[in-house]
Structure 1
Amino acid sequence: MSVPLIDWEPRAPLQRLHLDWLVSAGVEVAVLRLDLIDPLITGNKWFKLNHPLHAAHATGAHGLISLGGAHSNHLHALAAAGKRFGFTTVGLLRGHPQETPTTRDLQAFGMHLHWLGFAGYRARHAPDFWQPWQALYPHLHTVPEGGASLAGAQGCSPLVKQVREQLAGLGWADYDAWWLAAGTGTTLAGVVLAEAGRRRVYGAMAVPEDHGVARNVASILQSAGRVAGDYQLIDASRGGFARVDETLLDFIGVSELACGVPLEPVYTGKALLALKEAIESGRVERGQRVVFVHTGGLQGRRGLEQRA
């Protein structure tokens, strides 16, 4: 049995974001709620999987194999899609066996897990890394960590069309910019490709600058035949990936109460706080209309709450 041809095209609602500091600054923000596309397969991760799934179907692959951590939104979406649509999934995990809300879900969805240790996971960029796994699972299609590839970016390009189709419902004729969290930069690259220079795309990096987001975005754009794009990366990591501080947590708590949109501290919370800081510094000017992408990831905050 091969991967079924999946033509599911989830729709994300576009909603106004109501926060006092936006009103005071004279900036309008609409949030694209990728967290609402499906009860299980939520966020931007599904869009990054769409093209790899079609590639797997075209080659007769039986499923997909990829990498991630014990709280990985990427592996969670992949495992949930495998459960929903009936194909095999395998996850190669960073570190040593541990039980988290995410790994419990992965197993419940039927994903086969392999723990690589930390040294084994660091070797994932080695030229021969995939050879033993392809020998063990010859009928599976490999997906890069986080879906970071041109195919992953192309799967995110339809987000631009979804926004444009909903502008009239907001009373907007147009918008000025995008704002979204960036872990690998793949979703950002997809939006940049679809916008083709028409609007600036801001990426609030959830990882420090030395994690290669800029390099990955540039590589994807080059693979698509673009040497440049209108985008800007901003360090919103607050000192490290999944690094959480009281200022961030307080901001998330106040924001959720004020606007009713759930956030998490790894991606969306940091991105929204970075937007507030950009408005205060004048980077985003009065009168602008900004599309903020809610990239999902809410399942991952269960692990952070567990550790608190």
Structure 2
Amino acid sequence: MGPFDWLPYAPLEPLALDWLNGVELAVLRLDRIDPLISGNKWFKLTEHLAQAHQAGASGVISLGGAYSNHLHALAAAGKRFGFATVGLLRGHAHHTPTVEDLQAFGMHLHWLGFGGYRARHEPGFWAPWRERYPHLYPVPEGGGGLAGATGCRVLVEQARAQLSHLGWADYDAWWLAAGTGTTLAGLVLAEAGAHLVYGAMAVPHDHGVAQNVSALVQGGYQLLDASRGGFAKVDPLLRDFIETTEQACGVPLEPLYTGKALLALKHQVEAGHVAPGTRLIFVHTGGLQGRRGFTAGRA
């Protein structure tokens, strides 16, 4: 594996929506960094790939579902930069637009079933895969852990460098969806207490986001439930909100993360929990390729 010095730049854009009620909002468009290696997933991968290179690995093995943004970005990166990728997938073999892309990008897939995938946190899980693929570097689900968080620290630097374009001297806080909390932890590390980071949890409390984040950082953030009843739960209110928002501002959203996070912010503003004049940076974490599963009828 060669060195990975590609550092895409995410534009920071003002977002005007009628429900903001005096709150100033700018969106960091990670969805625009690249057509395929999109969103926060690349930033979460950078440190893992650097460690794989240092270890002399010829490629990477990781885990995810049949709509995984993480595996999609990893497979696309493998194809572009010329390293091997193996994906361990949840469930049983079936075709989705994401899976078809993974295969087209050259990722070798193994389907673990549901029980086999649940075992991914057990101490001996990686042993047989290390034996089968001794030259591949294992990356945790979603590119998580301290390495994943460290790779996301640069997002703070990129946003601050663009504040003058908005006419802002400073901002008050960050707002983003939290699936594992890795990106949130990276922002907290980079902020070092300077600005609060709000994480709108796109998954229920029992998915361990709070535990993941507290293992990486202490303080400087606040979590709130935006799961709307469960991971991948998409109700009519959320669908209508996404459609209305896209028509109003032209920013594409997806229903698992960014849509839920922005709707949660709307509820907080309407409840009076965010004061007029507050300046927030909203992180668009990408994941738009996953929308194909919903337009195909996945609920």
Find the residue that maps to 1:194 and give its secondary structure.
helix
Kindly provide the amino acid, as one letter, of the partner of residue 91 in structure 1. Answer: G
- Runs (4 or more) in structure 1 with deviation over 2 Å come to none
**1:118-142, Cα deviation, whole Å (9 max, x unpaired):** 0000100110000000000000111
Q: Which runs of 5+ in 2 are unaligned?
A: none
Q: Does the CA contact (< 8 Å) of 1:193 and 1:229 recur in 2?
A: no
Q: 199, 206, 209: which is aligned to 1:210?
A: 206
Structure 1 residue 304: deviation in Å? 1.3
Q: What's 1:230 paired with?
A: 220
Kindly provide the amino acid, as one letter, of the partner of residue 65 in structure 2. Answer: G
Q: What's 1:225 paired with?
A: none
Q: What's 1:295 paired with?
A: 285
Residue 103 of structure 1 pairs with residue 93 of structure 2: no
Find the residue that maps to 2:110 and give its secondary structure.
strand
- Number of residue-to-residue matches in the alignment: 298
Q: Distance in 1 between matches of 2:19 and 2:233?
A: 24
Q: What's 2:45 paired with?
A: 49
Q: Percent identity?
A: 71
Find the residue that maps to 2:241 and give its secondary structure.
helix
Find the residue that maps to 2:46 and give its secondary structure.
helix
**1:72-122, Cα deviation, whole Å (9 max, x unpaired):** 000000000001100000000000001000000000000000000000001
Residue 151 of structure 1 pairs with residue 141 of structure 2: no
Q: What's 1:4 paired with?
A: 2
Structure 1 residue 307: deviation in Å? 2.0
Find the residue that maps to 1:220 and give its secondary structure.
coil
Residue 18 of structure 1 pairs with residue 8 of structure 2: no
Find the residue that maps to 2:91 and give its secondary structure.
coil
Structure 1 residue 220: deviation in Å? 1.6
**1:171-222, Cα deviation, whole Å (9 max, x unpaired):** 000000000000000000000000011111000111001100000001122x
Q: Does the CA contact (< 8 Å) of 2:258 and 2:284 recur in 1?
A: yes
Q: 45, 69, 76: which is aligned to 1:73?
A: 69
**1:22-74, Cα deviation, whole Å (9 max, x unpaired):** 1xx11000000000001110000000000010101111100111000000000
Find the residue that maps to 1:292 and give its secondary structure.
strand
Structure 1 residue 279: deviation in Å? 0.9
Q: What's 2:164 paired with?
A: 168
Q: 217, 240, 245: which is aligned to 2:235?
A: 245
Residue 115 of structure 1 pairs with residue 105 of structure 2: no
